Amino acid sequence: MPRLSLLDDVRIGAQSLGASVSDALIPSLRIGVTGLSRAGKTVFLTALLHQLLHEGRLPALKAHRSGRLIEARLSPQPDDDVARFALEEHLHKLIHERAWPQSTRQISELRLTLSFEPESRLARTLGRTRLHLDLVDYPGEWLLDLPLLDMSFEAFSKDALAKAQAPERAPMAEPFLKALADRDAGAPLSEEDAAELAGLYMDYLRACKEGHRALSMLPPGRFLMPGDLEGSPALTFAPMLWESDSRPANGSLYQAMERRYEAYKRVVVKPFFLDHFARLDRQIVLVDVLSAINAGSAALHDLSDALTAILSCFKAGRNTLLSSLFSPRIDKIAFVATKADHLHHSQHDRLEDILEELVVDAHLRAKFSGAKVETLAVSSVRATREASARSGSTGLKAVAGVPIEGETINGETFDGEREVAIFPGDLPTEPGALLTQHAPANTLRFVRFRPPKRNDGSEKEERQPTLPHIRLDRLLEFLLGDKLA
Ligand code: GDP
């Protein structure tokens, strides 16, 4: 193996110092992309990067429209301890397999460097012509853990068990509640008992999330989205009540659960907020409003609570839990209703109104903290085109696409090849109506569509058009416009 001389060492050191110094002179903007699982984070970030890297159709992004956005290229990411967002893999899946990529399971990031010509002469004179865009994708479930930092194990358990007994959750929680009732909290810790209770609690949270139930408020966040803590002992606790006046004995099951809960807060929750969340400049919160609408009013209320909890993380006011840790610096937040391509464009305003209604409480809080908030309906990858259908003598505004193999509507099962037109139904004109107690479930008809064909007949990949989208450019203008001015 060749030996490096002292001089080589110095040279290498100087080179990397040179690179990092010139790199450090380029301003950076750190944007978080979050949302609960299946909200559309992976597809969104893949599509956004694809549009910027391949000069997609982005007319609402002023710098692009006026030709001032010169180049976008990938650069080495700033953090060595964070996974790289698997852009190439996801794009391959979308474009070549016409299948959706693997969803977000942990935090990842990617750096894009934009070269542009600023509008202002001063910025040109100062040579402000490049911007590092650090995009950080992370599960929204992790944000739901913030209130835990301020909650004792007793308070967490009371809240979690009251939720588990609520009518819309009780059937899923039954196995856990039964196992808990069978255990003596004061008995000496048995690892088997602890693991079984934690496993059943996790199963219950998963069951609430899955299928038609689509519930959202399901902390602790790592139980659903463990990231690199999959199978870790940090996750072997579950809520439990202590009903005696005396303190639980050392080494009891209850005491072990309490200690593990405190450790979860200390070694998992707090470091995430300090190391990652605190460094974000702007934030995108993706929301799968359509699935919650179809799950009915309980799911919508739950989603609204989750969004309020997420927004409380951005609140920079004094004397809040967060401000005791650090001061969040986020100055713009975009709430985005994803998968708008499931609806005809005439319904998109209503989708935005519903999202607005869902975040109204949250919205007020963020405004209070001085951050600008935007709500938008977007499709990161548009899998449908608009079509018309007839029902008797009535014309219906439908969407047409290729349903994924095995999807069904009205007893018809699709083969993954044939295009069909579907009338998804109309959203209500009065968004509040959906949040009333008795709003029914399954009012909309949806299937999952395959990603679109990108082939325009030309052989060369670079000549093919970028993937179609809806309003990604408006979102980019909100998030980046001022930085490229
Ligand atoms: P994540 O869990 O937030 O990372 O969610 P994903 O990005 O993996 O998206 C979950 C699923 O939503 C995907 O597998 C797609 O089925 C669907 N999806 C996401 N974005 C879109 C979109 O723009 N259009 C359509 N039609 N489906 C989408």
Both 389 and 369 in one domain: the answer is no
Using the atom order of ligand 1, give the atom closest to the CA of residue 104: 4
Residue with tokens 């990108």: 454
| DSSP-derived 3-state class of residue 400 | strand
Q: Note down pLDDT in tens along the chain; length 485 residues.
A: 333 334 434 433 443 444 455 677 899 999 999 999 999 999 999 999 999 999 899 999 999 999 999 999 999 999 999 999 999 999 999 999 999 999 999 999 999 999 999 988 887 787 789 999 999 999 999 999 988 998 999 999 999 999 999 998 999 999 999 999 999 999 999 999 999 999 999 999 999 988 777 888 899 999 999 988 887 878 999 999 999 889 999 999 999 999 999 999 999 999 999 999 989 999 999 999 999 998 888 888 889 888 888 887 876 545 566 666 666 678 899 999 999 999 999 999 999 999 998 887 656 655 556 688 899 999 999 999 999 887 788 888 999 999 999 999 888 999 999 999 999 988 988 888 887 766 677 778 888 999 998 755 444 545 567 999 999 999 999 999 999 99
Both 159 and 257 in one domain: the answer is yes
Distance CA 43, CA 284 (A): 14
| Cα–ligand 1 centroid distance for 49 (angstroms) | 15
Whether a cis peptide bond, with omega within 30° of 0, leads into 188 is no
Domain membership of residue 436 (yes or no) is yes
Q: What one-letter code names the amino acid at 469?
A: H
| Helical (H) or strand (E) element with 131 | strand 130-137
> Where would I find the beta strands (DSSP E) of 43-129?
69-75, 83-84, 108-116
Range of the domain at 407: 385-459
Domain membership of residue 419 (yes or no) is yes
Tally of structural domains, the chain: 3
Nearest alpha-carbon partner for 439 in 286, 303, 287: 303
Distance CA 57, CA 47 (A): 12
- Which of the listed residues 231, 264, 297 is the one where a domain comes to its end? 264
Look at residue 22 in the predicted model and tell me its pLDDT: 64
| Cα–ligand 1 centroid distance for 100 (angstroms) | 7
Ligand 1 mutation target, pool 38, 50, 138, most atoms within 8 A of CB: 38
Look at residue 368 in the predicted model and tell me its pLDDT: 55
Look at residue 5 in the predicted model and tell me its pLDDT: 39
Name the pairing type of β-strands 412-413 and 408-409.
Answer: antiparallel
Using the atom order of ligand 1, give the atom closest to the CA of residue 378: 23
| Cα–ligand 1 centroid distance for 42 (angstroms) | 7
Q: Please tell me the residue having the least CA distance from ligand 1 atom 27.
A: 339
Look at residue 50 in the predicted model and tell me its pLDDT: 97
Domain membership of residue 70 (yes or no) is yes
Both 14 and 134 in one domain: the answer is yes
Ligand 1 mutation target, pool 138, 210, 339, 382, most atoms within 8 A of CB: 339
Domain membership of residue 465 (yes or no) is no
| Cα–ligand 1 centroid distance for 39 (angstroms) | 6
Domain membership of residue 269 (yes or no) is no
Residue with tokens 């903290």: 369
Both 346 and 222 in one domain: the answer is no
The crossing angle, in degrees rounded to 10, of helices 153-164 and 170-182 is: 130
Both 244 and 294 in one domain: the answer is no
Q: What is the DSSP letter of 104?
A: P
Distance CA 220, CA 148 (A): 8
Both 341 and 474 in one domain: the answer is yes
| Cα–ligand 1 centroid distance for 431 (angstroms) | 24
Look at residue 12 in the predicted model and tell me its pLDDT: 36
Domain of 25, CATH number, reads: 3.40.50.300
Residue with tokens 């899955």: 210
Domain membership of residue 1 (yes or no) is no
Domain membership of residue 270 (yes or no) is no
For the entire predicted model, the pTM comes to 0.90
Under a CB-based contact definition with an 8 Å cutoff, are residues 340 and 470 in contact? Answer: yes
- Which of the listed residues 211, 231, 264 is the one where a domain comes to its end? 264
DSSP 47-65: HHHHHHHTT---TTSHHHH
Distance CA 39, CA 45 (A): 12
Both 359 and 454 in one domain: the answer is no
Domain membership of residue 464 (yes or no) is no
Both 324 and 429 in one domain: the answer is no
- Which of the listed residues 234, 264, 294 is the one where a domain comes to its end? 264
Q: Which residues does ligand 1 sit against, CB inside 6 Å?
A: 35, 37-43, 100, 103-104, 338-339, 341-342, 379-381, 383, 448-449
Both 353 and 476 in one domain: the answer is yes
| Helical (H) or strand (E) element with 363 | helix 360-368
Both 338 and 474 in one domain: the answer is yes
Q: What is the DSSP letter of 470?
A: B
DSSP 184-229: -TTSBP-HHHHHHHHHHHHHHHHHHHSTTT------SHHHH--GGG
Distance CA 271, CA 263 (A): 12
Both 283 and 365 in one domain: the answer is yes
Tokens of 484: 């490229």
Both 71 and 127 in one domain: the answer is yes
Name the pairing type of β-strands 332-337 and 372-377.
Answer: parallel
Distance CA 392, CA 389 (A): 10
